[in-house]
Structure 1
Amino acid sequence: MTNPPSYPTGPTPYPTGAPPYPSAPAPDATGHPYHRLDRATGRHRWWRPWAGTLLLAVAYFAALLVLLAFSFGLGTALGAPELPDGGADLGPVGNTAMDLVSIAIALPLVLLATLWPARRPVGTVTSVTGRLRIGWLGRCLLAGLPPILLLTVTAFLLPGDSGESDTWVGWRSFLTALAVLVVLVPLQAGAEEYVFRGWLLQAAGAFVRSPWFAVIPQAVLFAAAHGWGTRWGFLGLLVNGLVAGLLTIRTGGLEAAIALHVLNNLLAFGASAAVVDGLSSDETAADAPWPLALTAIVTDLLYAAIVLWFARRHKPQRLSAPSTPPAPCAHPARTA
C-alpha cells in the first residue's frame, strides 16, 4: 500500500536567494559625493540637519560665554586693563590669541553635531574616506604657495592707508607673535572650514543634489560672517567661499579648503604682526579695497586651477565607498 504524500505544516520558505523583505531599499552601488554624505548612512531624516545646526549655534554661544569668563578672570588675575567692550586687554598677541581660540572652539562642536543628531561617523565631515588625507593636504599646501606669493607681492606694492603704521615691531616681538599664530591659525582656519565647507555644505547637500545649490548658501553665510566692509571685500569673500566649496566637492574632502584658508590667514596675521599695533587693528578681509580684493579673487582662481591639475594627476577619492549588500540568509533544508 502506497503511503500518502506528506506536506510541510510550517510557513512556506522563500526561494533560495530571495530577500525576506521585498520592500527594503536596494544598496547604493556607486557611493556618494562629499556634499551628499549625510545620505550615505541611511539614517537621514529631514529634521537632523536643522536640529544639528540649531544645536551647533546654541553650543557655540555657550562656549563663547565660558571663554569670555575665562578671559575676564585671567585678565583680573594679571591686573590687565579693561577693553571698551568689557573684556580684559591681554595685549595685541594675547587678544589675537583669544580671538583665534574663540573661533577654534567651533571645531569640536561640529564633530559632536555630526555624531548627534546627524548620527554618522565624525570622519564623514572631513572627507569621503572618513579621515584627513595628510598626503593630499600636503599637496594642497604646496599648490597654495605660488598664489600666496602673488598675493604677498601685490599687497606689498599697494599703497597703505594713511593711518596705518609701517614701523617694524622688532624680531623678538615678531617671532613671539609668529609662534602663537603658527599654532592657533590652523585651528581657527580649520574650524571655519569644518563649519562652512563641512557642516553647512553637507546640511544643504542633504536636500539638494546639485553641487551649486549646496555651495552657494554656505558661501553667502561665510562672507556675511566677516561683517560688511566694502562691496569688493564682500565679493572677494564670496568668491573664496564658492571656490573652497567647489574644491571640497571636487576633491572629496576639506583638505584643499583648509590649506588655502591656513595660508591666507598666516599671511594676513603675519603681515599684521610685523608692524607696531598691526594686531590691534579690527579690519578683516571684508574691509579690503578693490585692488587687494581683486588680487585675492585671482589668487583663489589660480589656486583652484593648480589644485585641479594636481587632482587629475593624483586622483584623490571623490566618492564614498559604495554600500555592500548584506549576505543572503542561508535557509536550513527542511526534512519531511
Structure 2
Amino acid sequence: MTIPLPPHPTGLPYHRMGHSTGRHSWWRPVLGTLLALGAYAVLNLLLFALSYGFGAAAGLRELPDGGYDFGTAVNTALDLTFIAIALPVILLAVWWPGRRPPGTLSSVAGRLRWRWLVRCLLVAVLPVTVLAVSAFLLPDGGGDSGESDVWVGWRSFLVSLVLLAVFVPVQAAAEEYVFRGWLTQAVGAFFRSPWFAVIPQAVLFAAAHGWGTTWGFTGLLVFGGVCGWLTIRTGGLEAAVALHALSNLLAFGVAAAFVDGLSSDETAADAPWQLALVDVGTTVIYAALVLWLARRHHPQRLSPPVSGPAPWPAPHLQPQGATTLKVPPGHAGSDVPPSPWP
C-alpha cells in the first residue's frame, strides 16, 4: 500500500516561504513587486510634497535638488525616511497579494526572533569595529582631509546621534526586508535552488547604491550575497539586519562627528579599493562568527511542517514486517539543524 506524503512534511527553507500557505501562484510575487514599486513611488512623492510644503511655509533655504534645508541632522533623517517607508510597503505586499502572514518575511518561524537578533548584533561588533578603524587608518579610507574633518561640537553631535539611532535601524531593516526578504522569496517562488534566489537580490542591492567605483560595487555585491546566504542558512533576516544596521549606525555616527559629514553624497559604492577589501574581509568574518553562533544555538532553519490530507501512519498501524524509516538530518523529527544548501 502506498501512502501519499503530506505537502512539505519537513517544512520549507526561507527562500521558499511563498509556498508556506498553499496559496502560491506564479503571478503573486510578480503582482506584489509591481504594486510595491508603485506604492513606494507614491509614498515618496507624498513625503516630498509634505516636506516641500513645510519648508516653503517656514521660509527655509531651497536646496539644489528642489527640497528645503531643514538642517543637516533633519535632512539626513528625512533621507533615511524615504528609504524606510519601503518596510511597511513590502510587508503589505506579503499580506496582499502574497496572501500569507507578513511575519513569514522575517523568518521561517513567522516572526522576528529577537534573541537571535541580539546575538547577531553582539557578534557584529567586532567586524564592524575593525571596519571603522580601517576607515581612518587606510590611505584614502577616511575621506578627504582638511576642512571636512572639523569637529562639529557636542550639541550637534548628540542631536544627530539621537536621530540616527531612531532612523538608521529602520532604514537598514527596510533594505533587508526588500532585498534579502521579498526579492529572495519572490525568486525562490520559481526556483528551488537557493543560489538562484541569492544572486539576483545581491546584484540589485549593489545597483541600488549606484555605480561609484568597481571595488565599491564589488564590496556591496559581496555584502548582499553573504547576507542572502546567511538569511537562508539561519532561516531569517536577523543576521543580515544586525550587520547592516550596526554598519550604517557606525558609518553615519562617524560622519555626524564632522562638519558637513552627513551632507556627503558618497555611499559604500564609492569606497576605494583598500576599504572595499577590508569591507569584504569583515563581512566574511561576520559570516563565520554567525555560523559558529548557529552551531551553538541552532536557530530554526525550516518553517513548521504543513500537514496534508493523508498523515503518516502511526507506528502500531504499520503493516507487519514494514521497514522503519530513519529520519535524515533536516527533516521533521530530526534533532540535526537542516540546511537548504546542496
Say whether the fold is shared (TM-score over 0.5). yes
Q: Indicate the residue corresponding to 1:290 in structure 2.
A: 273
Equivalent residue for 2:231?
A: 248
Any residues of structure 2 matched to 1:175-194 within 5 Å, and which? 175-194=158-177
In 2, Cα distance between the equivalents of 1:243 and 1:290? 19
- What is the TM-score with the length of structure 2 in the denominator? 0.87
Partner of 1:7: none
Are 2:44 and 1:47 equivalent residues in the alignment? no
1:80 paired residue number = 60
| Residue 212 of structure 2 is aligned to residue 232 of structure 1 | no
The C-alpha deviation readout for 1:289-320, integer Å capped at 9, x for no partner, is 01111111011000000000000000000000
1:88 to partner: Cα distance? 1.1
Q: Deviations over 1:50-85 (max 9, x none)?
A: 100000101000000000011101212322111111
Say yes or no: does 1:210 pair with 2:193. Answer: yes
Report the TM-score, using the length of structure 1 for normalisation. 0.89
In structure 1, the gaps of 5 or more residues are 1-17, 329-336
Q: CA RMSD in A?
A: 1.6
- Asked whether the 8 Å contact 2:132–2:251 carries over to 1, the reply is no
Which entry has the higher C-alpha Rg, 1 or 2? 1
Give the corresponding residue for 2:325. none
Letter in 2 for 1:218: Q
C-alpha distance in 1, partners of 2:78/2:59? 17
Contact 2:6–2:307 (8 Å) recurs in 1: no
Distance in 1 (alpha carbons) for counterparts of 2:132 and 2:310: 57
Task: Name the aligned partner's letter for residue 262 of structure 1.
Answer: A
Aligned-partner Cα distance in 2 for 1:176–1:240: 30
The answer to whether 1:115 aligns with 2:95 is yes
* 2:148 is the alignment partner of 1:168: no
Gaps of at least 5 residues in structure 2 are 312-342
Secondary structure of 1:318's aligned partner: coil
Taking the aligned partners of 1:234 and 1:197, their CA distance within structure 2 comes to 17
Overall identity of the aligned pairs, in %: 68
1:317 aligns to 2:323 (yes or no): no
* Cα displacement (A) at 1:89: 1.2
Q: Which residue of 1 aligns with 2:14?
A: 34
Q: What is the alpha-carbon distance in structure 2 between the residues aligned to residue 84 and residue 149 of structure 1?
A: 35
Residues 73-82 or 35-44, more deviating:
73-82
Structure 2 Cα separation of the partners of residues 55 and 164 of structure 1: 45
Q: CA deviation at 1:164?
A: 6.2
* C-alpha separation in 2, matches of 1:141 and 1:78: 40
- The one-letter code of the counterpart of 2:54 is L
Q: 1:324 offset after TM fit, Å?
A: 1.8
Matched residue SS, 1:90: coil
**Inter-partner Cα distance in structure 2 for 1:217 and 1:138:** 28
Q: How many angstroms apart in 1 are the aligned matches of 2:76 and 2:117?
A: 26
